[in-house]
């Protein structure tokens, strides 16, 4: 059996004799299509990459090299497809064009898969499958392949599961997943560029748009896969019961997170105190709010906890926060001078606001000291308050030492009223 008979038995329609002239023409068409695709990609790739970057931000599919490769393969594949259907060639010439088209579409599918963050090995497997399918389709041999895939399967009741259906499902799910990721990223980038929305409104719209995109993708997938939803009605009661009991907390946290974003009581960037946790809100997620403390620890607080427990928001309506710094001086000190030095030390701190300026209150007369309190305002509570207190007290210590203002320590005076004489013999 020669090669023509073997190809014919495999389901591909190849007949006729070896035609060198047609083979040369097919080779010229293939090389020309690849050259034109390369030139167009080099010209249009950078421009298209910039447009994608402006629209969708820094997405993997917007990489200049990736876009250039996709354009090159797309143009070359389109030209090869047109040439194969418009130029009369011998079967061998058509085979050369079909194989070239299959290789181009295989490389194109690998580049697209990598742009969608698919792993290297799965992308190569997809590319190999696309190469075989495209080559077979261009040679008119897809029917045997389709019939072969459809013949491998089994039936469950009135439904049939086949290898062809599995391949179709995998392809549809992968394509919808990639499209949903790109659309969601582009929508998020567009929302971030809207200047009329504050940070919490942007987060809320991003979450709602993400839920909408996923819902549309799922509905499209169900429709394209031909899934009959009436078959799931039997399980709807059990699923609803499971959601009601098993996922109660999950859905409660989801709704609580949406409420927090809508009423804007807690926003990303706010400085809050919840229980013993003090820090800046980094992200309001589906389940929890991320709070970054000054120690670099990130606390994940459930959304419901912010709805049910008292929360101190230091930047709800105004970011200015007043700090209290207690100071005690000796009773023998010049109190007027001490207060002036306290104001001077507070005013020299880098983060203390000049308006409203620092003030000093006399709090009371203690056992060992006259108790004062320095009150200062800061506008950046997310940076913490300990550094401000430390800077003020360090400077005050030097000023008190220079001006002989004593900082007392607890003292006790013992008065002996009488001492009994020891008895002597």
The overall average pLDDT reported for the chain is 76
Band of pLDDT at residue 151, cut at 50, 70 and 90: low
pLDDT of 10 strictly over 60: no
Distance in angstroms (rounded) separating the CA atoms of residues 11 and 141: 5
Which residues, including other chains, have CB under 8 Å from residue 67's CB and lie 6 or more apart? 45, 46, 48, 49, 52, 61
pLDDT recorded at residue 170:
76
Over residues 98-127, the pLDDT tens digits come to: 788 878 888 888 787 777 666 677 777 777
**Mean pLDDT, to the nearest integer, of 348-367?**
90
- In this structure, CATH architecture of domain 266-313: Roll (2.30)
In CATH terms, the fold of domain 321-402 is: Alpha-Beta Plaits (3.30.70)
Distance in angstroms (rounded) separating the CA atoms of residues 144 and 235: 39
Domain boundaries, the chain: 3-151, 266-313, 321-402
Model pTM? Answer: 0.47
**Mean pLDDT, to the nearest integer, of 16-40?**
75
Over residues 215-246, the pLDDT tens digits come to: 888 888 777 777 666 655 655 566 666 666 66
pLDDT recorded at residue 146:
60
pLDDT recorded at residue 179:
78
Query: Percent of the chain, pLDDT > 90?
Result: 11
pLDDT recorded at residue 142:
55
Output the CA angle 75-81-82, nearest 5 degrees.
90
Q: Is the dihedral of CA 154, 156, 158, 163 positive or negative?
A: negative
pLDDT of 354 strictly over 80: yes
pLDDT of 327 strictly over 90: yes
> 5-9, 161-165, 349-353, 390-394: which range is least confident on average?
5-9
Check residues 265 and 379 and name the one with the higher pLDDT: 379
pLDDT recorded at residue 55:
63
Distance in angstroms (rounded) separating the CA atoms of residues 82 and 90: 16
Q: Using an 8 Å Cβ cutoff, are 136 and 95 in contact?
A: no
- What totals of helices (H) and strands (E) does the chain contain, helices first? 13, 10
Check residues 413 and 279 and name the one with the higher pLDDT: 279
């Amino acid at each position: 059996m020669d090669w023509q008979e073997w190809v014919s038995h495999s389901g591909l329609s190849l007949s006729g004799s070896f035609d060198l002239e047609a083979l040369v023409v097919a080779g010229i068409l293939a090389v020309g299509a690849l050259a034109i695709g390369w030139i167009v990609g080099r010209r249009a790739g950078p421009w298209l990459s910039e447009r994608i970057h402006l629209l969708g931000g820094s997405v993997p599919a917007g990489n200049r090299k990736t876009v250039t490769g996709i354009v090159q393969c797309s143009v070359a594949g389109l030209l090869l497809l047109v040439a194969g259907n418009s130029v009369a060639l011998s079967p061998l010439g058509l085979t050369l064009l079909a194989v070239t088209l299959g290789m181009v579409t295989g490389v194109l599918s690998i580049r697209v898969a990598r742009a969608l963050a698919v792993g290297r090995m799965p992308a190569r497997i997809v590319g190999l499958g696309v190469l075989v399918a495209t080559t077979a389709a261009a040679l008119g041999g897809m029917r045997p392949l389709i019939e072969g895939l459809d013949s491998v399967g089994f039936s469950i009741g009135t439904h049939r599961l086949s290898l062809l259906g599995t391949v179709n499902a995998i392809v549809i799910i992968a394509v919808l997943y990639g499209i949903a990721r790109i659309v969601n990223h582009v929508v998020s980038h567009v929302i971030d560029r809207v200047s009329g929305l504050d940070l919490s409104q942007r987060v809320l719209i991003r979450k709602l748009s993400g839920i909408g995109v996923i819902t549309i993708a799922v509905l499209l997938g169900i429709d394209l896969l031909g899934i009959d939803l009436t078959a799931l009605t039997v399980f709807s009661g059990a699923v609803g019961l499971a959601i009601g009991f098993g996922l109660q907390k999950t859905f409660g946290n989801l709704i609580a997170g949406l409420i927090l974003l809508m009423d804007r009581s807690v926003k990303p960037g706010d400085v809050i105190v919840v229980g013993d946790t003090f820090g800046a809100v980094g992200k309001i997620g589906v389940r929890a709010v991320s709070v970054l403390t000054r120690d670099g620890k990130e606390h994940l607080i459930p959304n419901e906890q912010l709805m049910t427990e008292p929360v101190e928001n230091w930047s709800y309506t105004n970011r200015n926060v007043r700090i209290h710094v207690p100071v005690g001086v000796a009773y023998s000190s010049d109190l007027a001078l001490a207060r002036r030095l306290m104001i001077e030390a507070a005013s020299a701190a880098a983060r203390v606001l000049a308006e409203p300026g620092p003030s000093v209150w006399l709090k009371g007369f203690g056992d060992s000291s006259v108790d004062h309190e320095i009150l200062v305002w800061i506008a950046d509570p997310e940076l913490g308050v300990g550094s401000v207190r430390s800077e003020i007290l360090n400077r005050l210590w030097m000023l008190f030492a220079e001006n002989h203002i004593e900082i007392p320590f607890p003292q006790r005076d013992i008065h002996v009223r009488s001492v009994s004489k020891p008895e002597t013999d």
